[in-house]
Structure 1
Amino acid sequence: MAKYRYIYTTFWQDPKVLEEMTPEDKYFYIYLLTNPNTTQIGIYQITKKQIAFEMGYSVESVNSLLDRFENCHKLIKYNNQTRELALLNWGKYNLTKGGKPVMDCIKKELSGVKDRSLIAAVAKKIRNEKIKQLFLRYADDTYHDTLDDTYHDTSTTRGQKEKEKEKEKEKYHYPDDDADFREVSSFYQSNIGVMSPYVAECIADWCKTLSPALVKEAIKRAVEQNVRKWSYIESILKSWHDQNVQTVEEVKAEDERRRTRKGKAHVIEQSTPYKLLTPDKFLF
């Protein structure tokens, strides 16, 4: 279940929003983008009754809005049988970065989609080629049928070989020839401790998802707080990823803003006058 979703401020300047949408359309679209059922992949299951209840509409109104968004605005697809809804522009704005944590989440959610045609529909607008290819693989029923046979039919030589290949893919790997990765991993081992293959792969993925400089900065902060654990470092990285932080400079700027806010709050607290309770205020 989603906790929050980003909406670009340019949403309000989009020609389709400005010229084609009514106030009701805008309200409905924001709901579709931010309701608790939304997922990382832009495809989620939701019933018309739930939409009606949460928006305060009748089911008939919801039917009308869904039809308008699918056939007029062409922004969604809704499957009445599986009750799955796809946001067709989701990949254009939300599926721009990869990395192991993101890809793992995408794979998990894609595997749960019942209507594969919705996956193909969302894939069309995805700009990140790696993520787009992953979507297309899951959209291919033939690919999944073959994959299922591979996992379950291990009695044949072909099935056993395919299973071995899948196991091989699951082995940890990291780029020994990447200078940035070597620098970060060396910094980790000097300040945190021995780096396991799992941590090495996570670091490599975070270097791609954010940047080597940000990963190194997260390690520094763990050392400063004397919390020398990978889980703590990764929690910092996830926080920056959720905030769409791109550089160390942005992190430090946010730190400064936070200190400024705390300073102002402290000044206000200190400057608040206290009223002295004089004897004539007591009740006898």
Structure 2
Amino acid sequence: MQDLKWIKLDISMFEDEKIKLIEQMPEADTILIVWVKLLAQAGKTNANGYIYLNENIPYTEEMLATIFGRPVNTVRLALNALREFGMIHIDEDSFIHITNWKKHQNVEGMERVRQQNKLRKQKQREREKAKQIEQKPKNVTSRDNHAPEEEVEEEKEKEKEEENISTTTNNAIKFYEKNFGAASPYEQESILEWTNDLGGDLVIEAMKRAIKRNKKSWGYTERILKSWQKNNIITVEQANVEEQAYRNQFQNRKRKSSEQAGSTNDGYDYGF
């Protein structure tokens, strides 16, 4: 998710009791500046209120101090104050999330960007499919004769998938609440969006992997989904292939590292 240029701010934000309480604190102006900078940074990230460098690297206090042009101690003070007032949440992996992001974000703009990304991926799949058809041997005619029938079947499958969206979303939410705990309205909405984008099976698979890695949070689950979306993974089978490829790559690197370490020993016992 990217290309967002602006966010919305509630014109009554300074009437909020939390803001009024912050205004009575030392360094109040600086804390509020950091708050607005966090909102802007969340807009740049465009990940439903999360703020991070990438899906695997959260912003540290030092990194935010550099980006915001403020001393580290000031940023730390602001983050602590905002967290105490429930305006931000920092999960167990140190990822920052803006609480009630919908109050601050440009809903229409983000949805438009999301739909544009979705349309872009759909067109990419169509181009890849057309390329595969062009690469078929010209002497194969029997399958070409069935092409219209296959397209009709695909349309039926799409209609069936649309009918099952509600069911798969409910299944994903039920799985979440059974294994993670009660889902907040934000989490339910996020699960719905990801189910629409990638399907309920893939959303549940991401939750299973979060559980397996002892990272039972929606934030971690969503980062898995973002990684899959970035790599155009749309089925559980593709996710399994990617994971196996990663494991093989890791084992190869580990073996090469071991071989290089062993090559420094010529095998001769010098007696010391």
TM class, shorter-length: 0.3 to 0.5
TM-score (structure 1 length as normaliser): 0.37
| Higher relative contact order (Cα pairs below 8 Å, separated by 6+ residues) | 2
